[in-house]
Amino acid sequence: MRAAAVSKYVAFARVATALARRDRGELYGRMLFFAVILGVFSSLWRVVAEAGMPIAADPKLLVWYLATTEWIILSAPPVHTDVQESIRRGDVVCRIGRPVSYVGAAFAEALGLLAVRAPLLAATAWACAFAFTGWIPPLAPLAWTLPFGFAGAALITAMCLWIGLLAFWLEDVSPVFWVVQKLLFVFGGLMLPIELYPRAMQVAAAWTPFPAMLAGPASFVLRQSGAGWLTLAVHQAAWGAAAALAVWWAFRRARATLTINGG
């Protein structure tokens, strides 16, 4: 790809970072929400541990695991709502007419938002996890979670972009989003590491992209090492390619049959 072409997408990402910096209220809201849910779940794991439930994991590690998965989920921008609105309002026509890929620009914008959110929410996640457990895992596994967590959030963003493009055919993509999000929560291992699931659930989860988004990056905290990074990198790259293909195909189909409100 030519440098000029790359610089276009960088420009979209920069505009989005400028937007994120202006719209700080939403970010602070997410940080507050983060603190609340981590507080609730750290109390829950403590109670579960005290009750002697057969959970084969240290409650402190589970809180740090949850902090990591929630960090990834909350960092990923809900790009499907923006894309849906753009299609509903017809603004998409202004963007399609430019010498730049519409989906590429939308993804670059989302990555720009992600670049602002992710570091702040990571700091919030770690600060809250430390506050609720009084313990910090070794820094090396925490450092592994950062790039892979960012990549996981980028994968979620690509999935949301694909969902948003369904607005070319569906009146409302929210039901699709809710279903996919719940699958992500369950098969991605949002609350619990997938290793603690029943065998059948583990096998089912392995066939989905969701562990590469959440459980994979968060598992560095459980293992307290960077082991398995190459496998995860391969999984993320493969699912990233699949997501790119799905987005490209959906947009290509949409362009061919495009019907825009008001002509």
Partner 1 sequence: MRATPAVVITDLCKAFHVRRPRAGGFAARLQDFVRPHTQTVTAVDRLSFSIAPGERVAFVGPNGAGKSTTLKMLAGILQPDAGEVRVLGLEPSRQRHELAFRVGTVFGQRSQLWYQLPPRDTFALLGRVYEIAAAEHRRRLDALTAAFGLGAILDTPVRQLSLGERMRCEIAASLLHAPRILFLDEPTIGLDVSAKAVIRELLHTESASHGVTLLLTSHDTADIERVCERVIVIHRGRLLWDGAIADLRRRYLTTKRITVWSEAERLDLQLPGVRVLSSDAYRTELEVALDVASVGQVIDAALAQSAVRDLAVEDAPLDAVIRALYAEAEARRSET
Which CB sits closer to partner 1, 54 or 99?
99
* Binding flag, residue 90, partner 1 (CB under 8 A): yes
* Binding flag, residue 54, partner 1 (CB under 8 A): no
Contact between 70 and 125 (Cβ < 8 Å):
yes
Binds partner 1 by CB under 8 A, chosen from 95, 196, 208, 224: 95
In sequence order, which ranges of 51-190 are alpha helices (DSSP H)?
59-75, 79-89, 92-96, 102-133, 139-165, 174-187
Which of the stretches 50-58, 70-78, 112-120, 254-262 binds partner 1 when contact is defined by CB under 8 A? 254-262
Q: Enter the DSSP assignment of 192.
A: S
Which CB sits closer to partner 1, 23 or 195?
23
Which CB sits closer to partner 1, 105 or 218?
105
* Binding flag, residue 93, partner 1 (CB under 8 A): yes
Q: Enter the DSSP assignment of 195.
A: G
Which CB sits closer to partner 1, 88 or 182?
88
Phi-psi bin for 224: left (phi > 0), alpha (psi -120 to 50), beta?
left
Which CB sits closer to partner 1, 105 or 205?
105
Contacts of 84 (CB under 8 A, 6+ apart): 164, 167, 172, 173
Binds partner 1 by CB under 8 A, chosen from 1, 22, 53, 200: 22
Binds partner 1 by CB under 8 A, chosen from 49, 57, 96, 244: 96
Written as one string, the DSSP assignment of 149-177 is HHHHHHHHHHHHHHHHHGGGT-S--HHHH
Contacts of 180 (CB under 8 A, 6+ apart): 159, 163
Residues that bind partner 1 (CB under 8 A): 4, 7-8, 10-12, 14-15, 18-19, 22-23, 89-91, 93-100, 255-256, 258-260, 262-263
